[in-house]
A = this chain, B = another copy of it.
Amino acid sequence: MKVGDNYYVTVWADGQTVYMIDQTKLPYHFEIYQAENYLQTCEAIKNMVVRGAGAIGAAAGYAMAQACMEAPKTNYERFISRARQDIEATRPTAQNLFFATKEVYETGSRSAHKALEKARSLAEENIDEGRKIGAYGNTFIKDGSNIETHCNAGWLAFVDHGSALAPIYQAKREGKNIFVYADETRPRGQGARLTAWELKNEHIPHAIIADNAGAWLMAQGKIDMIIVGADRIAANGDVANKIGTLEKAVAAYHYGIPFYVTAPVSTIDFACKNGREIVIEERAKEEVLFQEGPNAQGDWHKISVSSPGSEALNPAFDVTPAQYISAIITEKGVVDPTPSQIQNLK
């Protein structure tokens, strides 16, 4: 997608070098992180230079390909098998990372020079998934729509296009007039920081809102639809996603506003029967109690936004029951959030 006047993807390779948009610097600085070898790419994954399942998977695939290219002929198998472990250790809960690493490893163990090709084709698959989600999702967007979105499920979380924002980009490309309300998404502010940054670069009219403002805008008829991404989808259509997704879904359900979940099929956990089986990560209370960012001079500060000495509770995700979801939009098509329709995507 566009950054200024140029097109970018979140991660790509040229020869043995892997390039990544450094997301730790966004939205304040646009910098490209350059990794000359697989260990540098591992560092980048570990330090969240790339974030989001799709982008992490692609970066891991490229890291594995780098390892295959770096490996000495005399010790090839041992080197790439050790590298695979290093890569898998960077973000041990990221499923896409394991999948991509394994795929490139298996190709690489047969032929070193095919490894990069494989990594590239995995990244391109991710791009293609985003494009298809965008095309399917766009069919739900009418000209003149006001769309609310939560967190960042944009191209920065994938290789390109994204999930929740992909239909919005496609609608824009087709000349539809749209307006996006980006939920700030406390505590980490991915909506205010990343979604707004993406939308600005794509010249899509938008406003950041406090998470508190959603239902009020809905009550006034200012929201026509809500589109969100997903961290994990259960076999019955329950969706785990960033904290606050449920609150928007309940309000949307109440006001009769369509609520769409977008995700590649790889997000569906067919072994997970329903949302009750999903364990919700609780993150550090400091994320609620403090905020970080640059002041007007560009100096980075961590400030208190709470009464010193008070506790905070910080569930990072929530589970939205299938009943509140109008449809799940994937690269393989649009389904109702029911066990049988989801099974068909397998």
Contact = CB atoms under 8 A, between A and B. Distances in A.
Interface residues of A, number: 65
A216 B295 contact: no
Contact of A306 (B193, B292, B319): B193
A271 interface: no
A307 B27 contact: yes
Contact of A314 (B196, B210, B247): B210
A289 B187 CA distance: 14
Contacts of A27: 306-308
A199 interface: yes
A307 B193 contact: yes
A304 interface: yes
Contacts of A288: 184, 192, 208-210
Contact of A302 (B193, B243, B296): B296
Nearest to A205: B311
Contacts of A242: 212
User: Which 7 pairs from chain A and chain B are nearest by CB?
Assistant: A212-B244, A293-B303, A215-B247, A27-B307, A216-B318, A196-B307, A192-B306
Interface of A: 26-28, 181-182, 184-187, 189, 192-194, 196-197, 199-200, 206-217, 219, 242-244, 246-247, 250-251, 253-254, 280, 288-289, 291-296, 301-315, 318-319
10 contacts: A27-B307, A197-B307, A209-B313, A212-B243, A213-B243, A213-B314, A216-B247, A217-B315, A219-B319, A301-B303
